[in-house]
Amino acid sequence: MQLQWRVGSMDTWEADCLIFFVVEKEAEFLPGFGKWLRDEGRWLAGCSALSDFQGKPQQTAVFYAPQDRKIPRVICAGLGPREKLDAERLRGGAAAALRQCRELKLARPALPATALDGLPLERSRSLEEALIGGMGGLYRFTALKTRDVDAESFPESLLLFSEVEPDDAFHAAASYAESLVSGISLARDLVVAPGNQVTPTFMAEIAQGLAESYGFRLRLINLQEAEKMGMGAFAAVARGSREPACIIVLEHCPPGMDEDPPIVFVGKGITFDTGGISLKPSAKMEAMKQDMAGAAAVLGAFEVLGRTRFQKRVLGIMPCTENMPDGKAYKPGDVIQSMSGLTVEVISTDAEGRMILCDAITFALQYKPAILLDLATLTGACIVALGNEAAGIMGNRDELVEELCTLGAEVGERLWPLPLWDSYFDYIKSDIADFKNVGERSAGTIVGGIFLKQFVTDETPWAHIDIAGTAWTEKDIASSPKGATGFGVRLLTEVLKRRPKLGWG
Ligand code: BES
Ligand code: ZN
Ligand code: ZN
């Protein structure tokens, strides 16, 4: 769906419908809707169906105009009560409105800019959130369906009506929303597509496409090279698969910034996790195609970066491999030497995420990162702790973790902190190696974090984000239909966008 600005007075507006928002239990309509009702929509103003509309969150209603109007219908979307009104509610309302447009097969619905007046967010921010929610909510993955799909896709475009020339902030908000949604859609596509298609080679091809489109530097490290570089932990996992593994290194380096300490994103890219020799039970194993959601979020963030061209040096490091049982697979009891030199006793081959990430982290440190963030579907225990509502976050700087939590809450990708006290290291003490790759059952998510912490130097501000519970949703949520959510794309992008305002080193 495309966005198109249309500048002109209300009486010139022509579209398949107008979208307005309604706050629950409020006597007055929002100012933009009120003005339209007075000046153009008298047919609707007196309609009792409108006063019956309650405006509950994501509730919608369609009102039909008398014949031969330039605006044949109005869609109202509920935002819930004012005291709970926030960006999340607005994204949900916009998503519900546009899904309603799709249901009605409307090609060109319109959102008047004034529909966003009177909300507790700044106008351009409201537009940004409404568009992110609205466009994100329309996402679906139909590439593998050969029948029972609509050939046409509705809406074709969303008209943005404004009575005055929209200012720069409005234009910027709309184009940022478009870029962001394309990054989120890329991440969702990669996570939802199956493991026989999204192999490490496929991930590398996507990275190559991004590098060609946007001028990123790209380095692909294959298994042989990784072994030569001493990445024993990554190689241990990769050796068990017939699919060629790789480590993708994407770099965005604006001219003159070669010496700048980069912001580094590391994403877990297990394109299918069988558990390896510590084989997972077969029930629901198909869900493990999502185990590359961390890497997908990094690729999605690079898609946004390529379109928005932030003036920052940014690196994306994505270790990609399958985790398979095989004659050459690593085994419980094996001791593996990582690139850092530290040795790991393998207790479970199903804790493969931390194995590939620890070498990716050691590799990342060579770039002397200003900040190092890793994203991974690392532990089922994170789902036990937080469900699908928030990702777990751990790190070596409380301020960094706090700021990321605040940022996540603002943009609808909630994070919740877990402690990384040194005493947790006792859980992975080993008799034979420096430490084990798993402990007993308790504190599973923290143990994943404490494992990774062994590889991070104190001078590097680092956070680990466990997205096992947030990468996928079994039900439609505000602006993310059932399936892959693209969680992390917005968070990483906002880190790039806002970092100068934040004080992390
Ligand atoms: N990829 C899984 C974690 C996961 C579970 C992601 C559910 C998304 C949804 C990870 O590699 C894994 O298997 N972790 C083990 C760790 C255990 C062996 C310490 C787990 O969660 O059971
Ligand atoms: Zn696993
Ligand atoms: Zn895994």
| Any ligand 1 atom below 6 A from CB of 348 | yes
Question: Are 24 and 54 within 8 A, CB to CB?
Answer: yes
Query: Encoding tokens for residue 196?
Result: 């026989």
The answer to whether the CB of 468 is under 6 A from ligand 1 is yes
Residue 500 has pLDDT above 70, yes or no: no
d(CA 188, CA 382): 21
pLDDT in tens, 287-344: 999 999 999 999 999 999 999 989 999 999 999 999 999 999 999 999 999 999 999 9
Using a 6 Å cutoff on CB, does residue 247 contact ligand 1?
no
Mean residue pLDDT of the chain comes to 96
What does the pLDDT read at residue 231?
98
Higher pLDDT, 247 or 441: 247
SS3 label, residue 430: coil
* Summary count for the chain: helices (H), strands (E): 15, 20
Distance CA 88, CA 409 (A): 9
Q: Cα of 442 to ligand 1 centre, how many Å?
A: 14
Residue 149's pLDDT is what? Answer: 81
For the chain, what percent of residues have pLDDT higher than 70?
Answer: 99
Sorting pLDDT into bands at 50, 70 and 90, what band is 47?
very high
CA of 472 to the centre of ligand 3 (A): 14
Tell whether ligand 1 has an atom less than 6 A from the beta carbon of residue 351: yes
- Probe target for ligand 1 pocket from 272, 274, 286, 350, with the most ligand atoms within 8 Å of CB: 350
Among candidate residues 82, 102, 280, 397, the one labeled active-site is 280
Under the banding of pLDDT at 50, 70 and 90, the label for residue 270 is very high
Three-state DSSP class for residue 465: strand
For residue 274, which ligand has an atom nearest its CA? 2
**Ligand 3 mean position, distance from CA 354 (Å):** 9
In a 3-state reduction of DSSP, which class is residue 317? strand
Q: How confident is the model at residue 71 (pLDDT cuts 50, 70, 90)?
A: very high
Dihedral of alpha carbons 279, 282, 283, 289, sign = positive
Of 280, 349, 378, 440, the one to substitute when testing ligand 1's pocket (max ligand atoms within 8 A of C-beta) is 378
Residue 148: predicted pLDDT: 82
Span from the CA of 489 to the centroid of ligand 1 (angstroms): 21
- The question of whether 354 is a catalytic residue gets the answer yes
- 111 pLDDT band, cuts 50/70/90, is very high
> DSSP letter string over 361-424?
HHHHHTT--SEEEEEE---HHHHHHHTTS-EEEEES-HHHHHHHHHHHHHHT--EEE----GGG
What average pLDDT does this structure show over 229-237?
98
Q: Scanning the structure block, which residue is given the tokens 């990669």?
A: 190
In this structure, are residues 312 and 263 in contact, taking their beta carbons and an 8 Å threshold? yes
Segment 132-145 mean pLDDT: 96
SS3 299: helix
The answer, yes or no, to whether any atom of ligand 1 lies below 6 A from the CB of 343, is no
Q: Tell me the whole-structure pTM to 2 decimals.
A: 0.97
Cβ 349 under 6 angstroms from ligand 1:
no
Nearest to 111 by CA among 158, 178, 177: 158
- What does the pLDDT read at residue 64? 97
Strand residue runs (E) in 14-153: 17-24, 60-64, 73-81, 109-112
Q: Sign of dihedral through CA atoms 21, 169, 405, 467?
A: positive
* Residue nearest to ligand 1 atom 8, measured at CA: 468
CA triple 121-124-130, angle to 5 deg = 75
Ligand 1 centroid distance, CA of 356 (Å)? 14
| Position in ligand 1 atom list of the atom nearest CA 438 | 19
Ligand 1 within 6 A of CB of 321: no
Q: Give the domains, in start order, of the chain with CATH numbers.
A: 2-164 (3.40.220.10), 181-501 (3.40.630.10)
Residue 322 has what pLDDT? 98
> 248 pLDDT exceeds 60?
yes
Closest by CA to 277, choosing from 223, 246, 239, is 239
Percent of the chain with pLDDT over 90: 96
Mutate to test the pocket of ligand 1, among 192, 286, 291 (most ligand atoms within 8 A of CB): 291
Contact 395, 420 (CB under 8 A): yes
Lowest mean pLDDT among 119-128, 155-164, 496-505: 496-505
Q: Does the beta carbon of 322 sit less than 6 angstroms from any atom of ligand 1?
A: no
Is residue 352 scored above 70 in pLDDT?
Answer: yes
User: Is 280 known to be catalytic?
Assistant: yes
Q: Please tell me if the CB atom of residue 273 comes closer than 6 angstroms to any atom of ligand 1.
A: yes
pLDDT tens digits, one per residue of 77-96: 999 999 999 999 999 999 99
What is the pLDDT, as a whole number, of residue 151? 74
- Mean pLDDT for the stretch of residues 44-54: 94
User: What number does the ligand 1 atom closest to the CA of 471 have?
Assistant: 8
Catalytic residue among 313, 354, 490, 497: 354
Residue 360 confidence (pLDDT) above 60: yes
